[in-house]
């Protein structure tokens, strides 16, 4: 059996291993694969593993030997599921591997906005700000307590629930926008979208990118927010209308944003959020703690093992 990994580097830049797949057959590992290289590299492969390399209908039709596509991520929007199903291909994803990692980075972004530790550190090291201070401390940046503030969580799956749990530990009031009925959410307050935007001090996005959620954060929704509110996105960049958010940040309409994802990655130099005020960016790394990447590979191997045994798990088509 031939197994091909199309884009292995982001998951394993050298600190982990793919050896556990060797027992299933010949494994070809590519750090990165361009779209025009997919068909040639997957020729004869029964199992194809991809993180961010798209597999559209034409590509899938060109892989007659393929029986299994393993998505090396939770989101599977880059795979044409209908085409895979028509061609008798099983598609499986990796659910819940990064819950703790993403929730942790969500609060890293939030604390960067509220505590400015990096800003203080930079001025101490590069400007001798503390050694030149007339007092034992100084307050160049405002500090904000999270206790007593409201956080609005859009999407209340595994990650959303973990973010809510951490928020409650900080003493925050948790509101959620979710399709789940209130009786299934005893620990939080379920609200409609407009109420969430009007009342939240922090808005945190944890929903999938679908046609319905694309650019759901737009000028209209931002206009409902408090001027002191901040928005966090560790889900998908396409959830936000980026020009509208940049305008809101630059005009002071809202206080800040912490973003781990953008609509195009790597971003184009023209992306307005690269230069927006009070906008903290990380390069789509919320999922990427060592422990989370190790879990991802372990689950990917378990998925392949279950498929080979005839009982696929984590199937999405």
pLDDT at 114: 97
Do residue 163 and residue 55 come from a single domain? no
- pTM, 2 dp: 0.91
pLDDT above 90: residue 113: yes
pLDDT above 90: residue 177: yes
Query: Tokens in use for 24?
Result: 């299933």
Do residue 153 and residue 173 come from a single domain? yes
Residue among 185, 276, 197, 288 nearest 234 (CA)? 288
pLDDT above 90: residue 186: no
- On whether the CB atoms of residues 37 and 6 are closer than 8 A, the answer is no
Q: Is residue 317 assigned to a domain?
A: no
Do residue 227 and residue 276 come from a single domain? yes
Do residue 15 and residue 74 come from a single domain? yes
pLDDT in tens, 266-311: 999 999 999 999 999 999 999 999 999 999 999 999 999 999 999 9
| pLDDT mean over 169-182 | 93
Domain that holds residue 78: 2-97+290-308
Do residue 138 and residue 230 come from a single domain? yes
Do residue 52 and residue 124 come from a single domain? no
d(CA 283, CA 271): 14
Q: Is residue 313 assigned to a domain?
A: no
- On whether the CB atoms of residues 86 and 58 are closer than 8 A, the answer is no
What's the whole-number average pLDDT of the chain? 96
pLDDT at 182: 86
d(CA 137, CA 52): 47
pLDDT above 90: residue 92: yes
Element at 47 (helix H, strand E)? strand 47-50
Query: Tokens in use for 4?
Result: 């091909």
Do residue 129 and residue 251 come from a single domain? yes
If pLDDT is split at 50, 70 and 90, which confidence band does 184 have? confident
Number of domains in the chain: 2
Q: What is the CATH number of the domain that holds 186?
A: 3.40.50.720
| pLDDT mean over 111-138 | 95
| pLDDT mean over 145-165 | 96
Q: Which residues are catalytic?
A: 236, 265, 284
| pLDDT mean over 202-228 | 95
Do residue 246 and residue 257 come from a single domain? yes
Do residue 65 and residue 147 come from a single domain? no
Do residue 172 and residue 254 come from a single domain? yes
Q: Is residue 74 assigned to a domain?
A: yes
Do residue 80 and residue 113 come from a single domain? no
Do residue 249 and residue 301 come from a single domain? no
């Amino acid at each position: 059996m031939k197994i091909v990994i199309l884009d292995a580097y982001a998951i394993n830049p050298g600190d982990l291993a793919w050896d556990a797949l060797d027992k299933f057959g010949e494994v070809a590992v590519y750090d990165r694969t361009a779209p025009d290289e997919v068909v040639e590299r997957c020729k004869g492969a029964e199992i194809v593993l991809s993180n961010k390399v798209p597999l559209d209908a034409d590509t899938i039709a060109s892989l007659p030997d393929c029986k299994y596509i393993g998505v090396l991520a939770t989101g599977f929007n880059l795979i044409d599921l209908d085409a895979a199903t028509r061609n008798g291909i099983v598609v499986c994803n990796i659910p819940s591997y990064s819950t703790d990692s993403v929730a942790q980075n969500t609060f890293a972004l939030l604390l960067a906005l509220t505590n400015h530790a990096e800003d203080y550190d930079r001025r101490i090291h590069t400007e001798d700000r503390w050694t030149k201070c007339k007092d034992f401390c100084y307050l160049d940046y405002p500090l904000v307590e999270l206790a007593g503030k409201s956080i609005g969580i859009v999407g209340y799956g595994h990650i959303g629930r973990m973010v809510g749990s951490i928020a409650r530990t900080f003493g925050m009031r948790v509101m959620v926008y979710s399709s789940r009925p209130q009786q299934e959410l005893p620990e939080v307050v379920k609200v409609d979208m407009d109420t969430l935007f009007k009342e939240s001090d922090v808005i945190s996005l944890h929903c999938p990118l679908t046609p319905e959620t694309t650019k759901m954060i737009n000028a209209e929704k931002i206009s409902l927010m408090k001027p002191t509110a901040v928005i966090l996105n560790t889900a998908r960049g396409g959830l936000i209308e980026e020009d509208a958010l940049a305008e809101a940040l630059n005009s002071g309409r809202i206080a800040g944003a912490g973003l781990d994802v953008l609509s195009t990655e790597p971003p184009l130099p023209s992306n307005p959020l690269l230069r927006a005020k009070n906008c903290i960016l990380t390069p789509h790394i919320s999922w990427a703690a060592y422990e989370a990447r190790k879990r991802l590979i372990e689950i990917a191997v378990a998925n392949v093992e279950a498929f080979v045994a005839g009982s696929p798990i984590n199937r999405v088509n």
